[in-house]
Structure 1
Amino acid sequence: MRDRSATSLYQALRLRQVEPRRRTEQVVSAKLRAPTGVHHRRQLVSHATTAININRAQQDNDDGTDPRQLQQLLAVPRHQLLVLLWRDGSWTVIKSTTHRVLLHVPPSIDHQAHSIVDNKLADALVVITATRDSALACQSILFRSILAGKAFSQHILRDECLAWPSFVEFDASNGKIMVCNPSSRRIAVWDMKSYELCFEHVALGPIVDVKFSRELLLVLLGSDPAQKLQKVAGVDLQFGEVRFEVALECPLRLTQLEFVHELCGRLLVKQRRKPVQVYHIRSKRVVSLADTSDVTAENVFLDQRDCCFSVLRNKTIERRDADGNVVATAEIDEVVAADFRIGQVTRFEQAITIYVAPSTKAPGRIHVVCEVTGAVLASSSVGSLDAQDESPVLQALTFNCWHDELYTVDQSNLVRTWKMQSQPNKSIMQEVLDDVLK
């Protein structure tokens, strides 16, 4: 949700939840054994299905969207819950094992749900709502209340003005909430567990964007008239002090900026159709990475724990260190590679990354790919079990790494739980690890 057009309230908030990165102990070598193909291939088998038929408005919204469509799907594995946020502002909580509806909260005149966040530190669901006066409000609902079928909420961030152009961001890995008001150049950081104010920071220049990094807050500073990014400041998340400021060699227009990431003392800056530039924060040295012009924000993924990042291309997964050097490559199954686009990323132990990607050719088909070997862990149609029927277009999907499960919702609001089949008494992840560590 990065578009901040003032014409729409739904575009007035940028909310991004950063999942915590688990520490990986496995060292990835420069040469990895080629994938064995069908040895890793598994089918996704549906073991629980249900159609969510909540009584919602049948008419279209003002923007032409169907209010019955799903806006966000959130899995809460520790409580075996699925939270579904609908376009009309209502939200539903169901049990992921039985798909029994535990709670449904319809939209009200004063508050309409906009986004949902799983706050693991407080064991609560945070619901960001749009208010009648075109502002935003945040409510925290304990999961023990939801499991009891009730929605007792606590208003948080009451002292913050969340009207346009302010935005809020939740970061589970750092345990912080960031509220930014570009007009006043003020940034406030709150604790996710206690909802107490940690510190305030006032930027010395116009704020282009603010984003979380590991133990840092990256403040992108630029110029108002030309809307160009000129320098990046790193603010310590514990004390609120400025650790560094890096001036770019050439100011970048925001329309051409692909991404800015901090990775182990380096800044990765990417401009459209240009190579990735690596800025060394201490030495001020700048290195341009060859053959990275096609890298985009959608096909690059950071691993802060191992100080490396992965790039997904047509048929390969490249793993690079913080300086941009390729340390490992893995080939994706040829059959899947021609039909593969990047989707959800889930980190596992032992340097295993699962890419859950909807198919480009068949809207109801997905692929689950391992980063280390490039092997296809699972590939299946998530449409009807009847082969005669066409696979429906998926509205949303999310992966549960705790139980090797995939949850999907299609256009008919049919919720399905898919289990990756494996050998008896042996999980699919353990099977992959046994093979990788040989």
Structure 2
Amino acid sequence: MLVFLQSFLFYNKNNESLITVSVYGAENFSALRCRTTRIEYIRRGQPDAGFPLFETESLKWPGFVEFDDVNGKVLTYSAQDSTYKVFDLKNYTLLYSVSDKNVQEIKIRTSSSVPLKILSIEDGTVLKSFSHLLHRNKKVDFIEQFNEKLLVKQEGENLQILDVRNFQLTEVSRTEFMTPSAFIFLYELQLFLTFRNRSVAVWNFRAGSINVSSILTGKCLAKIKSGNECKEKKAWKFQNTVAEALEDITALYYDEDRDEIYTGNRHGLVHVWSN
């Protein structure tokens, strides 16, 4: 007796398992059969140690099953009773179902923004309500609040630091700031610590500044910072902001004849600051 089998594989990173979805020739390839096997069982040479999934569901054509890796969900459709069901990919428990013959299609997607509210700790009144835009179909690694700063990190994206007072947005390159396993916020020092593997890093929210002081008295005569309306001559065709120009300065020179300050940063850009 010949048994024809077709199947595809899905790696479930939520619980380190391999899901197979198969159709059999004995059923005219019309019904989907799902099974999960933990990776550790496969490594032990025990591929039969898994168990079937969604046995109570009628997944005959045109029924289907879809796996949403981004949101950690499974969507099934039973054509027999026109019912969509959403399951949790971690433990395959049923979350909710949608039964409506008028529904033609369901799409699972990640929201393009996250709604946020800032409440008064004293009486709970809403001080500010806003939405922060997200990159579509990218997992949110974390959203942390530190005083007036909001830290948002998505998988494979730059760290975003939003000042909720004026909505000024600062980004830190994903190559410099990788998602940590834990945070410690030092509120009095306006610093925060990140822990990743065996490394600890210290971060602050301050952009750089250039201070001009008197040699005789040490008194600060002038300050160049990101909030200043100072005259900045852009370097060639690069049109970056004042805050960006003050980041990671590697060289500084003062021209007494022209009364100008020249700075260079790690990006290889030279900026001229004139009075």
TM-score class, shorter-chain normalisation, is: 0.3 to 0.5
Question: More relative contact order in 1 or in 2 (CA 8 Å, sep 6+)?
Answer: 1
Under a length normalisation based on structure 2, what TM-score does the superposition of the two structures give? Answer: 0.40
Pick the structure with greater CA Rg. 2
